Amino acid sequence: MGAGARDEEAAAAGAGAHHGSLAMEKPQHGAAEYAQDGSVDLRGNPVLRSQRGGWTACSFIVVYELFERMAYYGIASNLFIYLTEKLHQGTVEASNNVTNWSGTVFLTPLLGAYVADAYLGRYWTFVIGSAIYFLGMVLLVLSVSLPALKPPPCDAAKVCPKASALQVGVYFGGLYIVAFGNGGTKPNISTIGADQFDEFDPREKMHKLSFFNWWMFTIFLGILFSSSVLVYLQDNVSWPIGYGIPTLGLLVSIIIFLAGTRLYRHKVPQGSAFTSMGRVIAAALLKWSVPVPADAKELHELDLEEYTRKRRFRMDSTNAMRFLNKAAVPVNDDKDGGGSAAPTWSLCTVTQVEETKQILKLMPLLVAMFVPCTLIAQTNTLFVKQGTTMDRHMGPHFEIPPASLGVFVTLTMLVSVVVYDRVFVKAVRRYTGNPRGITLLKRMGTGLALQVVTMAVASVIESRRLAYARSHGLVATEDQLGLSIFVLLPQFVLMGLADAFLVVGKLEFFYDQAPEGMKSLGTAMSLTAYGIGNFLSSLLLSTVTRITRKRGNAWVKNNINDSNLDYYYAFLTVLGGVNFAAFLVLSTMYRYKAESTDTIDIVIGLETEKAKLQAEPLG
């Protein structure tokens, strides 16, 4: 996408929009041959665009993600079943353990983003995280393989021995080591992939627009294999094999990623985003009584050469969140004639202030993602529990594993993403002028609306399932109902359709709208929504169960034939509807950041013209 390609979003930025600038050192080969976005190799040298990055480098990264997602979802897809059937946990306890672990998985990327941006860079943070991740997977394989590390099965009377502290500790130890390792890999791998495309080359920028769609497509393929083949192996062959294959897959994925190292473009760590933002906010509070000058040129900023040397972006001051501009106001200068000087840390640059503003204005929309991620969490917990009570036969000999209906979420997402990228975007962009077809917020909003419909349909289906159990006298038992498991299919398909809009749009939105020097943080923010959403799911389920139990009729019990899960789904529908309304309000207020390439193109153009003039003979 060229400098003027995103007219709709740039226009939406209005008067409050800001432009960035990046001064580039000009190697002898000429600016056009080198990546203009500050990309370097592992030694810090500028890289030739023809030799590194692009789809060639991305092929290693995308293949890594295929195998890694197979590994992760090889555990996550069937985790609820393992906890209930092998560790003998109840419905609410197992659901909360799944969502608590998932919440941790998606919160640790904040730590990984911090380490990558402040110290090690994305590549080395990723490599270390991968090693930790693999160790956790190995521990999980041992916990499901060694007899001493797993409780004995239930007896004929369905009396199930409780897992020992050692057995629970080893299994959950493996899970949380995986979560910790994921913190180093997840916020950096997609960002490394996006970094392979030069933001300031129109051709590569167009490829970057499709990157996130195809990135998610690859993820869906990995999930598809896990939700079908691996889940079947775990339920019907053995858990050691079902866990051993994804562990081997993870090892293969790490080897593949490392094999492509010489082709990657890298971004130099630009300092901790959290430290920079905290400094800006603290400085503005310290200087709350200091007036902001009318002329932005009086605010503190470094020379362009300083940004050139560090290969960083410089941003111009805006009037949005004007209070924060106080952090860039110089006070008690030598020329002011005395007085006690303010602390050195309290003087921030305009760029630091503007980066902080960009992250802060994303926060309301991040909060608006918590409830949608709570709804997504039901797919691997309560949706699976419903499947365990239904007829899963396909023919006389084959039974569908309850968690395998998640395949239809993935298949729907696969088809939807391809249709969206190849058909919908091409058709709609003719009318909107937006290379993405519709704005990212509109894409996310469509996903939110579809989620509300999904939960409403799930409530209706569950009401039908409960009516069947009552009419056949199966309320007091946990025996399978005569209803086919495919009765649940609509809620899985609709959730997949919603995810195709929401999940891809959310990832791209937070990456795209984060400041140039904080892309890892932007990706981590997107993942954080899943973390908070999963913890919120645990909180809601525990609270609703506790309140309804006190009233004599718990909505969610171990025996869901004797529950009112349809009421709980209806509650989530209302919650999703209220959140959707709030999102609409926030999205109308949001102003997209302007394209930094506008100024970049001008800078590069001026320097090119200057070079031409210098090359012409005098006279």
* pLDDT tens string 186-213: 888 888 888 888 777 777 777 776 776 6
Distance CA 72, CA 133 (A): 10
Q: What is the pLDDT of residues 480-528, one digit of tens each?
A: 788 899 999 999 999 999 998 998 889 889 988 888 777 767 877 888 8
Residue 393, classed as helix, strand or coil, is strand
Q: Is the pLDDT of residue 116 over 50?
A: yes
Distance CA 578, CA 375 (A): 13
Residues pairing with 484 in the sheet? 391
Mean pLDDT lowest among 218-227, 346-355, 569-578: 218-227
Co-location of 281 and 241 in the same domain = no
pTM recorded for the entire structure: 0.79
For 494-529, give one letter per residue: b (16+ CB within 10 A) or e. Answer: bbbbbbbbbbbbbbbbbbbbbbbbbbbbbbbbbbbb
Residues 6+ apart with CB under 8 A from 505: 440, 441, 443, 444, 447
CA distances from 68 to 112, 250, 296, 529, 544 (A): 17, 5, 48, 21, 35
Co-location of 561 and 512 in the same domain = yes
Q: Concatenate the DSSP letters of all residues of 136-160 into one string.
A: HHHHHHHHHHSGGGSPPPP-TT---
Q: How many domains does the chain have?
A: 3
Q: Is residue 580 part of a domain?
A: yes
Co-location of 237 and 178 in the same domain = yes
Q: Is the pLDDT of residue 10 over 70?
A: no
Residue 163 DSSP one-character state = P
Q: What is the pLDDT of residues 307-355, one digit of tens each?
A: 766 667 788 888 889 999 999 999 865 344 444 556 888 899 999 999 9
Q: Is residue 583 part of a domain?
A: yes
Mean pLDDT lowest among 35-49, 231-245, 261-275, 286-300: 35-49
Residue 81, classed as helix, strand or coil, is helix
pLDDT score for 182: 92
In total, the chain counts a number of residues equal to 619
Averaged confidence pLDDT in the chain: 83
Q: What is the pLDDT of residues 395-406, one digit of tens each?
A: 777 888 888 888
Residues 6+ apart with CB under 8 A from 22: 36, 37, 38, 200, 307, 311, 312, 313, 314, 516, 596, 600, 603
Co-location of 211 and 81 in the same domain = yes
Summarize the confidence of residues 32-53 as an average pLDDT.
74
The residue out of 324, 353, 382 marking a domain boundary is 353
Co-location of 317 and 435 in the same domain = no
Co-location of 259 and 288 in the same domain = no
Q: Is residue 47 part of a domain?
A: yes
Q: Is residue 9 part of a domain?
A: no
Q: Residue 122 belongs to what domain range?
A: 34-270
Co-location of 388 and 496 in the same domain = yes
Q: Is residue 321 part of a domain?
A: yes
Q: Where are the alpha helices (DSSP H) in 287-390?
A: 304-310, 350-367, 370-377, 382-388
Q: Is residue 133 part of a domain?
A: yes
Q: Is residue 93 part of a domain?
A: yes
Q: Is the pLDDT of residue 18 over 50?
A: no
Co-location of 217 and 316 in the same domain = no
CB 344 within 8 A of CB 46: no
Distance CA 419, CA 394 (A): 30
Crossing angle (nearest 10°) for helices 370-377 and 91-107:
130
Distance CA 190, CA 200 (A): 19
Q: Is residue 185 part of a domain?
A: yes
Return the percentage of the chain with pLDDT > 70, whole number: 86
Co-location of 195 and 289 in the same domain = no
CATH of the domain at 394: 1.20.1250.20
Co-location of 358 and 259 in the same domain = no
Reference 178, options 219, 137, 124; nearest CA is 137
Reference 192, options 347, 361, 39, 362; nearest CA is 39
Residue with tokens 């993942």: 527
Co-location of 133 and 239 in the same domain = yes
Residue 367 CA from chain centroid, whole number: 14
Co-location of 570 and 446 in the same domain = yes
Distance CA 125, CA 119 (A): 9
The residue out of 301, 323, 353 marking a domain boundary is 353
pLDDT band per the 50, 70, 90 thresholds, residue 306: confident
Higher local confidence (pLDDT), 305 or 532: 532
